[in-house]
Amino acid sequence: MTNSDIIDILEQTAKLLDLHDGDPFRIRAFSSAAFSLDKVPVSLTEQYVAELTKLPGVGKTIANAVREIGDTGHLAELDGLLAQTPPGVIDMFRIKGLGVKKIKTLWQELGIETLRDLRQASESGRVAAIKGFGEKMQKNILDNLAFLESQAGKIRMDKADRLATQLRDELSSLGRVEISGQVRQRATEVDTVELLVESDEPVAVQSFLNGHTGLTQHRADSSPFAWRGQADGSDVRVAILTYPANQFDQQLFIRSAPEAHLIEKGPTGKTLLQTALQISPHNPEEAIYAQTGLPFVVPEMRENPQAFAWARQHQTDDLISWDDLRGTVHNHSTWSDGQHTIQQMADYAREIGLSYFGIADHSPTASYANGLSAERIRQQQAEIDQINADYAAQGIAFRVLKGTESDILGDGSLDYSNEVLSSFDYVVASVHQTLSMTEEKATARLLRAIENPYTTILGHATGRLLLAREGYPIDHRAIIDACAAHNVVIELNASPYRLDMDWRWIEYAMSKGVWISINPDAHAMRGLLDMHYGVYAARKGGLTKDRTFNAMPLAGMLVWLEKRKKG
DNA sequence: GCCGTTTTCGGCCCGACTGTTTTCAGTCG
């Protein structure tokens, strides 16, 4: 049970209490406890009840609830509420624009209990006819249902990675185990977690898996060599394939690239697939490419249709890697909605080998996130000056940079005065509200922000949340062209929830000479590690070290920022 | 349910935006 698991349970309890007409103040207590616990930098499962009650918004009842969740993984009260609620009604919370009140109306007035019911009611116009609903809401529901259906059965790369790693460790007693498939290719969204086991005893592998709690086999899809099923509590499919030693390496290659990549032909007319099947066992993947007469492509880039074109122009070593990162520029602290102080975050950044840490807390429009007023910006910058003075006094070559994540308002302007904007080393400009826009409106809004001379970095360009929210449509070429013209860096938001901008646009951005910054958008120390996911996505798109903004060393970064401010 | 006292009750409560309205409820970050 992580803090966010516990917070999710408290939030869901609040929603279901609301759905079942609970006491409004009790509902608010659960919901605000969840909100404030989200900012607590300690592990909730490790706290005693007496310690928990000292936290803001936590009294005896919620402290006991947190303990119960920590100890049992469940909250009896939530289980009771869930038992009274059709699962399809709970699914409706995933539709953006539907909250408790509207879901309650749909359930009670139209008797809607499944997403299928909801679609039928929307298609037949019955939803628009309810008081408080209308044509636009009905269309929004249908659009959201279509998006959710298209994402069904997928999980984010971070969850897939955890599941795959866990299975690999558990299976390792049976022999050599390798993660293959989409996880090895670092797909941003995964529908099948696949692993290969090297063994001459497929029966032993199958019986091990069938004795595994948390996995359920789909017998119809399985064979003696291929166990297929799914992880309990998740829609994602799991495939565990057993191969003898003399087939293992070639299968690992074949199962780590999409078909379009495997049927690429070399100068002799032979495809990668043909070579892989003919090559003698235990040859490295590089040998398969070499014997086909094609340049080597790293697994994460194999789903990129431009991979071979990229590999003919660059070396694999040109690709950005974790070790090349020198700093980080988009992060939050306790000044806005982060869990840790600037000092804690900066020290952690040092610990993981970086030489600069940029703070970019929220601006006033993000009031829900405790965005900073002009006055609080002055105080924060004084604190940063002090931290930097302390590092310098200790002879530590590390710098905290003064940034902001300034909201892009509806008209494309930023929400600080020019005087405040000029006090930062750099400005990350991001859209956080009014996300529902046409492509024309969204593009015009971003273009105005890019043209602002104070904008240094364009934050999460489309506002998407993988598997949950599509993001507003933008004219990517126009946005990238404008960034090139105005020397604006584009963020690759490294949060596994976002990975925005999409890796498919990296090549175009590079061709225009645009810098790309791998930004963790960290709200806690460990959030800095999300840059790993950003690196995976960046490598998919072929991002090179020399175009990665935060691969710039500290000295170069300071010069670049200074020059950029002078225009 | 939590909090903070004018201390065991009485008051809690972000604000912009959207889609629905015709003055505002519901949603969201």
| Beta-carbon contacts of residue A202 (< 8 Å; ≥ 6 apart) | A224, A225, A242
Check whether residue A45 and residue A114 sit in a common domain. Answer: yes
Q: What pLDDT, in 10s, does the model give residues A135-149?
A: 989 999 999 999 998
Check whether residue A245 and residue A277 sit in a common domain. Answer: no
Averaged pLDDT, A339-360 = 96
Check whether residue A7 and residue A72 sit in a common domain. Answer: yes
Check whether residue A80 and residue A168 sit in a common domain. Answer: no
Percent over 70 (pLDDT), chain A: 100
| Beta-carbon contacts of residue A541 (< 8 Å; ≥ 6 apart) | A304, A503, A504, A505, A506, A507
Is residue A410 over pLDDT 90? no
Task: Return the nearest residue to B14, CA–C1'.
Answer: A368
Return the amino acid letter for A532: H
Task: Return the nearest residue to B21, CA–C1'.
Answer: A132
Is the Cα torsion angle A391, A392, A394, A397 positive or negative in sign?
A: positive
- Would you say the C-beta of A137 is within 7 Å of strand B? yes
Structurally, how many domains does chain A consist of? 4
Instruction: Give the pLDDT of residue A485.
Output: 98
* Beta-carbon count within 10 A of A186 CB: 24
Instruction: Give the pLDDT of residue A233.
Output: 77
Torsion of CA A146, A147, A153, A154, to 10 degrees: 170
Q: What pLDDT, in 10s, does the model give residues A468-512?
A: 888 899 999 999 999 999 999 999 999 999 999 999 999 999 999
Check whether residue A349 and residue A493 sit in a common domain. Answer: yes
Residue that finishes a domain, picked among A302, A334, A369: A302
A97 pLDDT tier (thresholds 50, 70, 90): confident
Is residue A567 over pLDDT 80? no
What CATH code is carried by the domain that includes residue A7?
1.10.150.110
Protein chain A, residues 77-96, with a C-beta closer than 7 Å to any atom of nucleic acid strand B: 95-96
Q: What pLDDT, in 10s, does the model give residues A12-52?
A: 999 999 999 888 889 989 998 998 888 888 889 888 888 88
For residue A265, what are the domain limits?
258-302
Strand A237-243 and strand A226-231: the pairing is antiparallel
Check whether residue A142 and residue A167 sit in a common domain. Answer: no
Check whether residue A524 and residue A540 sit in a common domain. Answer: yes
Check whether residue A275 and residue A182 sit in a common domain. Answer: no
A545 pLDDT tier (thresholds 50, 70, 90): very high
Check whether residue A167 and residue A64 sit in a common domain. Answer: no
- Would you say the C-beta of A211 is within 7 Å of strand B? no
Q: What pLDDT, in 10s, does the model give residues A359-407?
A: 999 998 888 788 898 989 999 999 999 999 999 999 999 999 999 999 9
In a domain, A223, yes or no: yes
- Would you say the C-beta of A56 is within 7 Å of strand B? yes
Task: Return the nearest residue to B13, CA–C1'.
Answer: A28
Report the distance separating Cα A371 and Cα A406, nearest Å: 9
Check whether residue A421 and residue A453 sit in a common domain. Answer: yes
Nucleotides of B under 7 A from a protein CB: 1-3, 11-12, 14-21, 25-29
What CATH code is carried by the domain that includes residue A535?
3.20.20.140
- Would you say the C-beta of A545 is within 7 Å of strand B? no
Instruction: Give the pLDDT of residue A241.
Output: 97
Range with lowest mean pLDDT among A127-131, A381-385, A447-451: A127-131
Instruction: Give the pLDDT of residue A364.
Output: 87
A248 pLDDT tier (thresholds 50, 70, 90): very high
Q: What pLDDT, in 10s, does the model give residues A209-247?
A: 988 878 999 999 999 999 999 988 788 999 999 999 999
Protein chain A, residues 90-129, with a C-beta closer than 7 Å to any atom of nucleic acid strand B: 95-103, 128
Check whether residue A137 and residue A284 sit in a common domain. Answer: no
Contact A319, A518 (CB under 8 A): no
Check whether residue A402 and residue A362 sit in a common domain. Answer: yes
In a domain, A407, yes or no: yes
